Amino acid sequence: MFDKLEDLLIRFEELLNELNDPGVAGDPARFQKLMKEQSSLQPIVDAYKEYKNCNQTVEDSLAMLDGESDEEMREMLKEELSAAKDRIAELERELKILLLPKDPNDEKNVIVEIRAGAGGDEAALFAAEMYRLYVKYAEKRRWRVELLNADEIGIGGMKEVSFMITGQGAYSRLKYESGVHRVQRVPETESGGRIHTSTVTVAVMPEAEDVDVVIDEKDIRIDVMRASGNGGQCVNTTDSAVRLTHYPTGIVVYSQTEKSQLQNKAKAFALLRTKLYDIEQQKAHDAEAELRRSQIGTGDRSEKIRTYNFPQGRVTDHRIKLTLYKIDSVMDGDIDELLDSLIAADQAAKLTAMGENVA
């Protein structure tokens, strides 16, 4: 591990020198690439430098203790020595986590699809609430949300909604949201006060760039039509909606949120590229069965991952058996505690799979 850390430290210094080169500053693409690499190495380098400083503190404290007779000074040195040793243990674990193989998609933007499952109108209502949850979470992190498509019902619910979240590290956090979300509550339309159980399915996909997926024009049928549903001026009076059909996979995507046909077409292609990229990602996950078993539910869309029980005010994540009694704040986008716990559990599982001590 420490040989690798020394190599990364050398590489970090090389990057700093390259970034200070006037020739690199004049090449925006190369400069951006080097900046991205430096940014990814910065946390590892900072932790490793602190680790080395703590080790030096231990050596200095031990050397000074050997020649120190003043009892008060010896106590100070012992405290400093103990604190440094404790910090070294913490940093060793942090460095092991920082050196875990990175998911190449972690820094990407995401496209999220929410679909109403079992439960009829109640499922559609909860799908709309889940959409608002993620919008509010994105706002808290100052990420941008762009609606791609929504199939709304008259009572404020959504049968289906697709949207893009743009922000640094969006996929690294939201990828754990893929799966079946179950809600238990008394619907407003239920006169007998009975608790109903409904479900929605959430799919979180890393945004695919042009270089990730090449789409052959011969494989696509493009249809334009008038948008349907509630809309503002011009939305329902011009052929602005776009539907793409991908023949090889049978995937159909639809976009009607913009007044401009060109904008809707761009959104539809972004969604199609992401869906095709997601298919390839799923194939890779399936091929890496052992790795997939060590992960915390980032691949199986049919897995029931979380229950939202409104009568008891609790949210339970079944993968890590974590229950929080703050359903109102969770539905208001306060999901960092859930996500942090999932990330920690995922890291611990990967360390264990690598034979590392996670205690």
Final residue belonging to a domain, choices 65, 98, 131 = 98
Domain boundary residue among 64, 98, 132? Answer: 98
pLDDT of residue 33: 86
Shared-domain flag, residues 135 and 254: yes
The parent domain of residue 118 ranges over: 104-359
Judge if 124 and 85 occupy the same domain.
no
pLDDT digits (tens, 9 = 90+) for 106-164: 888 999 999 999 888 899 999 999 999 999 999 999 999 999 888 888 888 999 999 99
Which structure tokens are listed for 84?
Answer: 């440094």
Residues 134 and 152 in one domain: yes
- 224, 311: one domain: yes
Give the rounded percent of residues in the chain with a pLDDT score beyond 90.
Answer: 39
Q: Report the mean per-residue pLDDT for the chain.
A: 85
Same domain for 153 and 30: no
pLDDT over 70 percentage in the chain: 88
Residue 94 is part of a domain; what is its CATH number? 1.20.58
More confident residue, 9 or 215: 9
Inform me whether the pLDDT recorded for 296 exceeds 70.
Answer: no
At residue 231, the pLDDT reads: 45
pLDDT at 198: 92
109 and 195 both lie in a single domain = yes
Residue 358 has what pLDDT? Answer: 44
Binned at pLDDT 50, 70 and 90, residue 88 comes out as very high
Q: How many domains does the chain have?
A: 2
Q: Does 266 or 300 have the greater pLDDT score?
A: 266
More confident residue, 282 or 202: 202
pLDDT at 286: 65
Give residue 306's pLDDT.
95
pLDDT at 243 over 90: no
Residues 89, 24, single domain; the answer is yes
Is 199 found in the same domain as 147? yes
Confidence of residue 210 (pLDDT cuts 50, 70, 90): low
Residues 25, 147, single domain; the answer is no
- R_g of the chain computed on alpha carbons: 26
**Which of 34-38, 177-181, 337-341 is predicted least confidently?**
34-38
298-338 pLDDT per residue, tens: 445 567 999 999 999 999 999 999 999 999 999 999 999 99
- 180 and 203 share one domain: yes
User: Same domain, yes or no, for 73 and 113?
Assistant: no
Both 175 and 256 in one domain: the answer is yes
Tokens of residue 87, six digits: 């910090």
CATH of residue 287's domain is: 3.30.70.1660
Least confident of 8-17, 31-40, 308-317, 349-358: 349-358
- State residue 300's pLDDT score: 53
Confidence of residue 228 (pLDDT cuts 50, 70, 90): low
Residue where a domain stops, chosen among 98, 132, 152? 98
Is residue 31 very low, low, confident or very high in pLDDT (cuts 50, 70, 90)?
Answer: confident
